[in-house]
Chains A and B, each alone.
Chain A
Amino acid sequence: MNVIENKDNDLVFELIGCDASFANALRRILLSEVPTVAIENVYMWNNTSIIHDEVLSHRLGLIPINVDARLFDPIEDGDDTTDQNTLVFQLQVKCPSRRQAAAKAKKATGDDSALTETEKSVLENTELDHAAFMAAKKEAIQTPGRPYTLHLYSRDLVWVPQGDQERRFPNGIRPVHDDILIAKLRPGQEIELEAHAMYGIGQDHAKYSPVATASYRLYINVEIVEPIYDEDAEELAHLYEPGVFEIIPAGVPGKRITVKVANPYACTMSRNYMRNPKLAKAIKMTRIPNHFIFSVESVGMHKPAVLVAEALKVLQKKCKDLIEVTKQQQEAF
């Protein structure tokens, strides 16, 4: 195994000398059997926005939540929700009406001389909307032409700790990304809901998949069978497989340049070079059947390397469980 590339959420590594079945098992487990936590049940108290309850709850379900699922108990049908298996989020937003917003804008700038007495008293009694209004005002700058539209983002989900969760997660729980747009509200519209997030695996629903992609391809062995010079070399290096070949001085009298294989990882096994009959004869590309280039892209709750380790542990658990039952079977006879 070699690591080729390891960035924040991307990992590319090689698996050399293993079966396709093993690589495929690893890929399938990464996609559908490494657990995460996602919103599963949504209790809608009030929704006067134009987004339907179903669509809204689906959108909420797809928000990745930055929490380690290994600290949670799986929940089966019929299990009670407890602080060990459920996270509670609340969402309470209201887009203030135009009149309220205008009045508040004046109040915020300290200029409320234009307000009538009734408006003032209304404002004083509706302090709760202040934060929502400030958000709307901020949005108004970002979305010119739609000054009264309130944008609802994933950061507006408020985690409500249950039981001892506050102690277990002292840093709080938030979505992986703060800027996922959930809904847009027009003046007077509001959304009030409670969302329960639970442990699950990708087999149940794709929202639980901890990876954006997990895939593998075979390593391509590039061989130069016959020497390639000058124009052909330039054509090959620049046109057909950019990045794979490198131009070097030929070192042969009468010839200017030649090519060598510099980076076979960039090779896409494109057959374009075969258009040139000379190159078609000179280059040989073959896939190596037991050399995999595996790429894993994490959604963000775990490092991709950790996900691969988890996937391996899941596969190990499958094996161990099966060994266990086969032993029982043997004893039975």
Chain B
Amino acid sequence: MSVNEVRVKRVDDSKKFQVKGTGPESNRTFAIGNEDHTLGNALRHILIQNSKVEFAGYSVPHPSEPIVHIRVQTHQPTTALQALQESCETLNSQCEYVLQQLEEKLPEVTADSIALQAKLAEMLEDDEEEGDEEDVCMEE
């Protein structure tokens, strides 16, 4: 008996990233699959703080479809795609900064990641050993 009968919908590969809109490359709508308000709102906020961006907005066209639309209009010569990429990089570095602060202030974060790496390495080693054993068997 399955505890959870309904699983979250996932989009096919073709819908993971779509560019919508025509005309100059400064105006585009990006449809990003498997994302929601989490990324949409965060990116929109970063986009509107960029002086090269004329307009930025986001919407989730249908609540039961895991697709978020991000509309970007930029001042020439920046293209909408470039602006989007830039905003992703900004958000990424923002995360990096907070993560770094977190590691500084809370030692358990670093301790945990070291322990995890050790565990993963150990698992990898085990796998390799197993592989060796198999090879030996093959030779015999």
Interface check A284, CB cutoff 8 A: no
Q: Count of chain A residues with Cβ under 8 Å from any Cβ of B?
A: 63
Interface check B22, CB cutoff 8 A: no
Shortest Cβ gap from B29 to chain A (Å): 13
Given contacts A42-B3, A71-B123, A309-B102, are A316 and B95 in contact (CB under 8 A)? yes
25-67 of chain B: CB within 8 A of chain A: 32, 35-39, 41-42, 44-46
Shortest Cβ gap from B130 to chain A (Å): 8
Contacts of A168 in B (CB 8 A): 123, 126
Contacts of B11 in A (CB 8 A): none
Shortest Cβ gap from A123 to chain B (Å): 35
Are A326 and B88 touching (Cβ within 8 A)?
Answer: yes
100-121 of chain B: CB within 8 A of chain A: 101-103, 105-106, 108-109, 112-113, 116, 119-120
Segment at the interface with B among A33-41, A226-234, A248-256, A262-270: A33-41
Are A15 and B89 touching (Cβ within 8 A)?
Answer: no
Contacts of A71 in B (CB 8 A): 116, 119-120, 123
Are A316 and B96 touching (Cβ within 8 A)?
Answer: yes
B35 interface neighbour in A6, A11, A318, A323, Cβ under 8 Å: A318
Contacts of B38 in A (CB 8 A): 24-25, 28-29, 33, 315, 318
Are B95 and A77 touching (Cβ within 8 A)?
Answer: no
B1 interface neighbour in A53, A303, A309, A316, Cβ under 8 Å: A53
Are A326 and B84 touching (Cβ within 8 A)?
Answer: yes
Shortest Cβ gap from B17 to chain A (Å): 4
> What secondary structure prevails in chain A residues at the interface with B?
helix
Alpha-carbon distance A71/B1, docked complex (angstroms): 25
Contacts of A2 in B (CB 8 A): 105
Are A322 and B32 touching (Cβ within 8 A)?
Answer: yes
Interface check B78, CB cutoff 8 A: no
Contacts of B94 in A (CB 8 A): 18, 22
Contacts of B120 in A (CB 8 A): 70-71
Contacts of A203 in B (CB 8 A): 8
Q: Shortest 8 CB-CB distances between A and B: which pairs?
A: A61-B3, A21-B45, A319-B92, A305-B106, A325-B17, A25-B42, A1-B101, A205-B4
Task: Give 15 new A-B contacts, CB below 8 A, not counting A19-B42, A22-B42, A312-B98.
Answer: A11-B106, A21-B42, A28-B37, A43-B1, A70-B116, A77-B7, A168-B123, A303-B109, A305-B106, A306-B112, A312-B99, A318-B35, A319-B88, A322-B84, A329-B17
* A interface with B by C-beta (< 8 Å): 1-3, 6, 11, 13, 15, 18-22, 24-25, 28-29, 33, 38-44, 53-54, 57-58, 60-61, 68, 70-71, 77, 164, 167-168, 200-201, 203-205, 207, 302-303, 305-306, 308-309, 312-313, 315-316, 318-320, 322-323, 325-327, 329-330
